[in-house]
Structure 1
Amino acid sequence: MKTNRLKNVILIKVIVLITISCIQDDNFNIPDLIFEEPIINGNVITIDAIAGMLAQAQNNGDDTFTFEDTNTYISGYVISSDEAGNFFEELIIQDVLENPTRGIKLLIDINPLFARYEIGRKLFVKLDGLTIGTTNGVFTIGVRDGNTIGQIAASLENEVIQRSTERGELVPLTIELDRLNNNLTNLYVTLQNAQFNRSEVLDLNPLTYASEPTDQFDGERVLESCNSNLPIVFSTSTFADFRGLELPAQSGTINGVLTKNFFGDTFNFVVNTPSDVNFENPERCDSIEIDCGLTDTQGTVNLFEDNFENQRTRQRISGNGWTNFIQEGTEAFEAFRSSGASPSLGISARIGSRNSGDVSSIAWLITPRIDLDAQDGETLRFMTSNSFANESNLELLFSTDWDGIEASITNATWINLPSAFIVGDNDFFGDWFDSGVVNLSCIEGMAYIAFRYTGNGDSAFNGIYELDEIIINSL
């Protein structure tokens, strides 16, 4: 009996030794998951084709369109990733890898998605039972939820989405901010020669992507094109892994998804990860600055003054040597009077692009020429208010080489005077704010002083500014 037990023990040891000897090394790599190209038993149509179906339905008074027993699929390539937390329970897909023409947002109750649906992965989406429409301003597919579009249930994932073996490299579509339209949403795009607004990255405390005390749900920053001088909202989720990183102060190229905000009325630029922000050029395209600072001394010799009381309300500011010039868009500085929640100071000047429909609104209000060599201690003082400035901008500039002709305004050198306080969006809209006594004594020659408004018809950039009690004095 003992002999048999001994033989069994020896036999087991021999088997173990033989098994171990068959192992070539100790590299236990996880094997690659192998899957086959799905067999699509149905017709495959384009994203653009179903966009046309939705347009037909909307022309007939319907907000959505639902597919019933069509045995039809769409195909597309994934352009979004939730790996860094900047997308959540959605896939953005576009029709082709390069030069795309149409994209769509797919809502699904699954998180995370990036491991199965990587960027550049081709997908097939079965349309039966799904509904298309416009959600948050962009073309969307999901399931009908009352009058809206809801998420596809996780249990239906494998029935609805077929993952192709094909995965390619996305080539971002180059866009310019003066040519944006709704058909470009849900596409992987690139903005070249861009930067973040100077107020967000050049101050002593640069802003982060989305971890400021005022950031709720999303951090919204101002991304600027140096080519068109137009802005766009750069949006980052407050749940993104990189929300605490500081925005880069340099300029360069940025790749991401063009989408819209929650309300669907403002274009947004969204990146998958901060590595999509390739800002490595130390040169920026900001206006030149000369900062003479503020002073406590305001002279008594008046060089120029206007409180706009002689203007006609609802008419363009004119007379008294003013140049009121529209560089882009349809909006000019106008006189207004108000006694409401945002009162004027009698008659004041106002500029804004709300309800303008302008792709870009740039307007100038320029003083007559002032000789800054004829006396000493020149200063400027004025008052500003706003009616929700949003991300529109009012700047104080001067030029010593403008010839006084409107056609050459944009060819002249305009230099920013940053020390003046100009009301911001966070300031109470019912109050008026003093600029401080702006020192002009470091400027030499014949100079024009200008107020330049920059905005557009987009709700994020259509703010209104009010201006009054402008006075230039010397000692």
Structure 2
Amino acid sequence: MNRSKYKPGICYLLFFMIMVSCVQDDDFSVPNQLNIEEQQTIIDIQDGLKNGTYTEISIEALKQQFVAGEVVQFASNSVVKGYVSSSDKTGNFYKELYLQDQPSNPTAAINIVLNQVDSYNQFNLGREVYILLQDLFLGETASEILAIGGAADGNRIDLMSENQIKTHLFRSLITEDLTPLELNFSDINENYIGMYVLISNVEFPEYLIGQSYFNAIDDFDTQRKMQRCEGFSYEEFSLETSSFATFKNEILPSENGTIKGIISKSYGGDDFVLVLNDTKDVALTNTRCSPLNADDFVVVFEETFNDAIDEQILDTEGWINFAERGQVLWTEQIYSKNGYAEFGTFGANDTSNVGWLVSPGINLDENLNAFLNFNLAQHHLTSVRNTIDVLISTDFNGTDVLNATWLEIEAKVPTKYDEWYTFKDSGLIDLSNFSETVYIAFKVTGSGTNEALDGAYQLDDFRILKEK
């Protein structure tokens, strides 16, 4: 029988050294030290950033290098740094992690696709990570999420191999506590993908009470609708849970509160979704909310556009329809017996179009504590530069739009990420800081010759309200 040539004492020493140097494989605790090779690599990277061997690039600047429909390979000695915002500890993320540029108040985030499971043991939540970009790739995943990967698969990004992870992805000793970015559902857009966020005043619809996070009839992922009260209706957004999540059979909470998670996209990239790191981030313990009741308010002024004549230039009494640039004006439209106002530039020959729709003057002196409320929808928006601004003026003379003083109003307006033709409630906009006669304007910027800017905005149910 062969016997080991190592004495027991030496074996124990070797075992201890192996355990210390392989902390990334420890399933039971977050690593708080690096092995010698890792530590030296981080020192070399930091020294290289100081002496010019490496060039640091921000996540935001890195994302700007993306070319739509292409996978780009990095050639320079660039380094990007970020903080891990996602965790695969519960199995809700698979062979991916997200990095955001700051532990709090992040401005950009990026997806990393890698051939590694249980990456949380090495790249734990809040861990500072350096990526050597040379020879890696930038492109979109199958979910149309911008990511760093190890290869190109046609016009999509592919996983970093185990060897690439060892030579390109490095954690430092620093682990920060992440402060979630507070958002409303209506705020969410492409820029927030990968960020750790917090949504307040959230609940699951009553029809989901008693249901679990994952629906057993689904093969891979389940999307559960969430809602939050906003004005006279609900805002909605989807929570996505993987079939591999350890918490998939937990019952959805029935109350209202806060949810923290990562903004991502559904498979195929059709919808934005919120993905949990852990159900510890779900704190729904408050009383359910109720949308405002219109019966609790008096209507001071209202325009429903129900007298619209389909596809004619809008000439609703008292409203100013003005083209600042180009020839396009707001039009009256009817769909399914509902009238509304619309500004769209499709088919126009103008390089630039700016169209205003200004309300009649509304006297607020007799209506203290008044609120503005309206519904807006969009269709065919593809660019954030195809915009609508909601403005208010107290010195407009009723004719000279451009020489009046206009202040922007914060309102919930549709973006290119919202479903086409679906009206969004603006919420109640407080007008108590204004007095005398005010005018409300809707100003759209687009283009008839640029297909990226020829989308349309629709306005309906414009109201000034005051509480009874």
Class of the TM-score when normalised by the shorter of the 2 chains? 0.5 to 0.7
Counterpart position of 1:208: 212
Counterpart position of 1:147: 155
Deviations along 1:163-220, one digit per CA (max 9) or x if unpaired, are 111111001111122222211111111111111122112xxxx21000x233221111
Distance 2:176 2:134 in 1: 27
**Counterpart selection for 1:49 from 58, 61, 77:** 61
Counterpart position of 2:244: 239
TM-superposed deviation, 1:84:
0.5
Counterpart position of 2:228: 225
**Counterpart selection for 1:157 from 165, 174, 181:** 165
Distance 1:412 1:216 in 2: 49
TM-superposed deviation, 1:44:
1.9
Asked whether the equivalents of residues 103 and 139 of structure 1 are also in contact (C-alpha less than 8 Å), the reply is no
> Secondary structure in 1 aligned to 2:120?
coil
TM-superposed deviation, 1:132:
0.9
Distance 2:163 2:246 in 1: 28
Is it true that 1:65 corresponds to 2:72 in the alignment?
A: yes
Stretch of structure 1 that moved more, 144-153 or 99-108: 144-153
> Secondary structure in 1 aligned to 2:254?
coil
- Which ranges in structure 1 are unaligned for 5 or more consecutive residues? 1-28, 289-310, 333-352, 364-405, 414-475
Deviations along 1:229-250, one digit per CA (max 9) or x if unpaired, are 3111110001100000000011
TM-score by length of 2: 0.55
Distance 2:136 2:274 in 1: 27
TM-superposed deviation, 1:80:
0.7
Distance 2:99 2:418 in 1: 32
Asked whether the equivalents of residues 137 and 264 of structure 1 are also in contact (C-alpha less than 8 Å), the reply is yes
Is it true that 1:284 corresponds to 2:289 in the alignment?
A: yes
**Counterpart selection for 2:264 from 242, 259, 264:** 259
Distance 2:375 2:199 in 1: 21
Asked whether the equivalents of residues 195 and 226 of structure 1 are also in contact (C-alpha less than 8 Å), the reply is no
- Which ranges in structure 2 are unaligned for 5 or more consecutive residues? 1-27, 49-53, 294-308, 311-332, 342-372, 380-415, 427-460
Q: Structure 1 pair 269/411, CA: closer, same or farther in 2 (3 Å)?
A: farther
**Counterpart selection for 1:329 from 376, 396, 399:** 376
TM-superposed deviation, 1:154:
1.1
Distance 2:79 2:374 in 1: 48
TM-superposed deviation, 1:285:
2.9
Q: Structure 1 pair 34/108, CA: closer, same or farther in 2 (3 Å)?
A: closer
Asked whether the equivalents of residues 257 and 285 of structure 2 are also in contact (C-alpha less than 8 Å), the reply is yes
Q: Structure 1 pair 128/178, CA: closer, same or farther in 2 (3 Å)?
A: same
> Secondary structure in 1 aligned to 2:191?
helix
Counterpart position of 2:177: 169
Q: Structure 1 pair 410/111, CA: closer, same or farther in 2 (3 Å)?
A: farther
Deviations along 1:14-55, one digit per CA (max 9) or x if unpaired, are xxxxxxxxxxxxxxx99964443442032221111111111x
Asked whether the equivalents of residues 47 and 74 of structure 1 are also in contact (C-alpha less than 8 Å), the reply is yes
Asked whether the equivalents of residues 228 and 289 of structure 2 are also in contact (C-alpha less than 8 Å), the reply is no
Asked whether the equivalents of residues 254 and 276 of structure 1 are also in contact (C-alpha less than 8 Å), the reply is yes
TM-superposed deviation, 1:224:
1.3
Deviations along 1:344-395, one digit per CA (max 9) or x if unpaired, are xxxxxxxxx99964685469xxxxxxxxxxxxxxxxxxxxxxxxxxxxxxxx
TM-superposed deviation, 1:331:
8.1
Counterpart position of 2:197: 189
Q: Output the amino acid matched with 2:74.
A: F
Deviations along 1:100-152, one digit per CA (max 9) or x if unpaired, are 01111100001111111110000001111111122213221102122210000
Q: Output the amino acid matched with 2:147.
A: T
> Secondary structure in 1 aligned to 2:121?
coil
Asked whether the equivalents of residues 378 and 422 of structure 2 are also in contact (C-alpha less than 8 Å), the reply is no
Q: Output the amino acid matched with 1:249.
A: S
> Secondary structure in 1 aligned to 2:269?
coil
> Secondary structure in 2 aligned to 1:83?
coil
Matches within 5 A, 1:54-453: 54=66, 57-58=67-68, 63-68=70-75, 70-135=76-141, 136-142=143-149, 143-201=151-209, 206-210=210-214, 212-227=215-230, 229-285=234-290, 315-316=334-335, 327-330=374-377, 357=420, 360-361=423-424
> Secondary structure in 2 aligned to 1:196?
coil
Distance 2:96 2:118 in 1: 9
TM-score by length of 1: 0.54
Asked whether the equivalents of residues 193 and 253 of structure 1 are also in contact (C-alpha less than 8 Å), the reply is yes
| Count of residues in correspondence between the two structures | 288
TM-superposed deviation, 1:63:
2.1
Asked whether the equivalents of residues 86 and 271 of structure 1 are also in contact (C-alpha less than 8 Å), the reply is yes
> Secondary structure in 2 aligned to 1:114?
helix
> Secondary structure in 2 aligned to 1:164?
strand
Aligned-pair identity in percent equals: 26
Asked whether the equivalents of residues 223 and 233 of structure 1 are also in contact (C-alpha less than 8 Å), the reply is yes
> Secondary structure in 2 aligned to 1:329?
strand
Q: Compare CA radii of gyration and give the structure with the larger one.
A: 1
Distance 1:46 1:235 in 2: 29
Q: Structure 1 pair 261/324, CA: closer, same or farther in 2 (3 Å)?
A: same
Q: Output the amino acid matched with 1:81.
A: S
Q: Structure 1 pair 273/359, CA: closer, same or farther in 2 (3 Å)?
A: farther
TM-superposed deviation, 1:409:
9.5
TM-superposed deviation, 1:256:
0.6
Q: Structure 1 pair 34/105, CA: closer, same or farther in 2 (3 Å)?
A: closer
Asked whether the equivalents of residues 334 and 340 of structure 2 are also in contact (C-alpha less than 8 Å), the reply is no
Asked whether the equivalents of residues 220 and 236 of structure 1 are also in contact (C-alpha less than 8 Å), the reply is yes
> Secondary structure in 1 aligned to 2:201?
strand
Distance 1:120 1:354 in 2: 29
